[in-house]
């Protein structure tokens, strides 16, 4: 398809994002095509491993292309978003559980939907330009695409911090937080990709010392608070105005739900559990949350002044995460 270059080269299946002018944003059609390629290669003896990379210097994938979801929600057609999120999450789980190695080369912006692709690969390579984030609380959503699963397994309170602030991670932070595995200078990526295609052997991936992680030395104990209000109070006592400014800018409902979801995911047995919980929120997001207003302010009008109105009480968070009944995300059981 036009936005993805999907091919077999040597002993590798190779998928390249090819819409750099749009920061390789992931559309519904791209999610379906990527999933289909993985299914096709699952039992293909020629394909020993899968490589996922992207054209352009600015982004591996800066997120999901949610314009259609936004327009549908405005028109009262919430099914557009529900279909997109469903198929995207099924693809995310397919990457996480893939029986062959998946190597992701993640340069530039890797956000939201980009984390859903690269963040669940078996070999996650980052470089000096890499900036990874789950910034959904700024648009009235929650860290989805399996983001709550990754955040739940980050050390200490990094998960709560990133979920509520949407903070960005460079290569060192990403490896420390468990969003990446390997640092490699980006000028070495083309040669490595060529070797992987030729040999089909992940042993070609060298280990290089990662940059330092500022997050590793940061005191995030304030994010152990039971609620967002508790976290804000702790930050106020430390006069951490920089972090407070971010929290006061983001959607209260998104932060409260994200906090609850990261903590719930720590008890999950598999990524599918976290994705199902995320889907309950995103299934309702265009109808019952702050999502439409957040997208308007940050992406459509770009006035950066969202008027949040959704209830952020514990009772409403519970309502947003309640079972969808017959609309629950359905998982196929592998034979």
Active-site pick, 53, 65, 136, 278: 136
Please provide residue 164's backbone torsions phi and psi, each rounded to the nearest 5 degrees: -90, -35
Residue 94's H or E segment, with its range, is: helix 79-96
User: Rounded CA gap, 93 and 74, in Å?
Assistant: 29
Active-site pick, 13, 53, 63, 64: 64
Active-site pick, 112, 113, 170, 258: 113
Note if 64 is an active site residue: yes
Note if 144 is an active site residue: yes
Active-site pick, 53, 144, 160, 197: 144
Q: Which of 150, 27, 135 is nearest to 83 (CA)?
A: 27
Residue 255 DSSP code:
H
User: Rounded CA gap, 320 and 274, in Å?
Assistant: 14
Note if 136 is an active site residue: yes
Note if 147 is an active site residue: no
8 Å CB contact between 249 and 135: no
8 Å CB contact between 177 and 200: no
Count of CB atoms within 10 A of residue 233's CB? 12
For residue 312, give both structure tokens. 């952020």
The residues annotated with a catalytic role in the active site are 64, 113, 136, 144
């Amino acid at each position: 398809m036009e936005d993805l270059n999907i091919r077999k080269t040597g002993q590798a299946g190779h998928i390249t994002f090819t819409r750099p002018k749009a920061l390789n944003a992931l559309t519904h059609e791209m999610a379906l095509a990527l999933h289909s390629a993985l299914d096709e290669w699952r039992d293909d003896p020629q394909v020993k491993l899968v490589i996922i990379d992207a054209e352009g210097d600015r982004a591996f994938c800066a997120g999901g292309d949610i314009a259609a979801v936004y327009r549908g929600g405005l028109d009262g057609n919430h099914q557009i978003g529900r279909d997109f999120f469903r198929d995207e999450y099924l693809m995310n789980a397919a990457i996480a559980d893939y029986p062959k190695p998946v190597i992701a080369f993640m340069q530039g912006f890797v956000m939201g939907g980009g984390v859903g692709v690269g963040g669940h690969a078996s070999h996650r390579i980052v470089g000096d330009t890499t900036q990874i984030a789950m910034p959904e609380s700024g648009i009235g959503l929650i860290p989805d695409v399996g983001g709550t699963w990754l955040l739940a397994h980050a050390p200490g309170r990094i998960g709560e911090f990133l979920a509520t602030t949407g903070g960005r991670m460079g290569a060192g932070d990403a490896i420390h937080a468990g969003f990446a595995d390997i640092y490699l200078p980006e000028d070495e990526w083309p040669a490595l990709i060529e070797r992987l295609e030729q040999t089909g052997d992940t042993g070609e991936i060298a280990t290089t010392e990662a940059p330092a992680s500022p997050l590793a030395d940061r005191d995030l104990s304030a994010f152990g608070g039971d609620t967002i209000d508790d976290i804000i109070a702790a930050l106020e006592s430390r006069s951490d105005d920089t972090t407070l400014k971010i929290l006061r800018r983001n959607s209260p409902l998104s932060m409260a739900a994200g906090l609850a979801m990261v903590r719930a995911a720590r008890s999950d047995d598999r990524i599918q559990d976290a994705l199902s919980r995320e889907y309950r929120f995103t299934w309702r997001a265009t109808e019952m949350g702050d999502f439409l207003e957040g997208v308007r302010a940050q992406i459509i009008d770009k006035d950066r002044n969202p008027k949040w109105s959704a209830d952020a009480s514990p009772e409403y968070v519970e309502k947003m995460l309640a079972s969808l009944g017959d609309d629950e995300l359905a998982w196929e059981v592998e034979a």
